[in-house]
Amino acid sequence: MAPSNSQIAHIGLAVEDLETALSFFKDVLGHEPTGVESADGAEIASLRFGDVDIELLKPQKPDSPIGKFIAKRGPGIHHICLRVPDLDAAITDCQSKGYQMIDAEPRTGAGGHRIAFLHPKSTFGILLELTD
């Protein structure tokens, strides 16, 4: 068993419109985005809540991962990213325990972070991303 030193890095929210979502976080909660960037065919606005980011993900095209998610399920909470001490070790550990990776090798995600997604069929329907 791995040591329990993982943390939540961010939560990704699939939204159809960044401005509407940003208005809520600003008007009600007083949160301004810390940055806006593009990754995986999505425009991403990040909001910082303590040690955890909320990433608002707006698809830039229908056939992007977020575009497909919204087409199938509507806007909603897309994934949780967990920070582990060693991403390569975590991938090997997941695979050895029968959990299927979407990314068998780390790749570069938003913010230049090394990331890898697990397959939600393997993780009880929840899309989980790992980073370090």
Interface residue with a second copy, options 42, 54, 66, 110 (CB under 8 A)? 54
Nearest to 39 by CA among 59, 19, 68, 21: 59
Contacts with a second copy by CB under 8 A: the residue count is 48
Interface residue with a second copy, options 34, 35, 36, 49 (CB under 8 A)? 49
The conformational region for residue 40 under phi > 0 = left, psi -120 to 50 = alpha, else beta, is left
Q: Is residue 35 within 8 Å of 112, Cβ to Cβ?
A: no
Residue (28 or 61) nearer to a second copy, CB = 28
Q: Does 112 bind a second copy (CB under 8 A)?
A: no
C-alpha 59/C-alpha 99 separation (Å) is: 28
Residues in the site for a second copy, rule: CB under 8 A?
Answer: 1-8, 11, 13, 15-17, 20-21, 24, 26-32, 49-52, 54, 73-80, 82, 84, 90, 93-94, 97, 99, 123-127
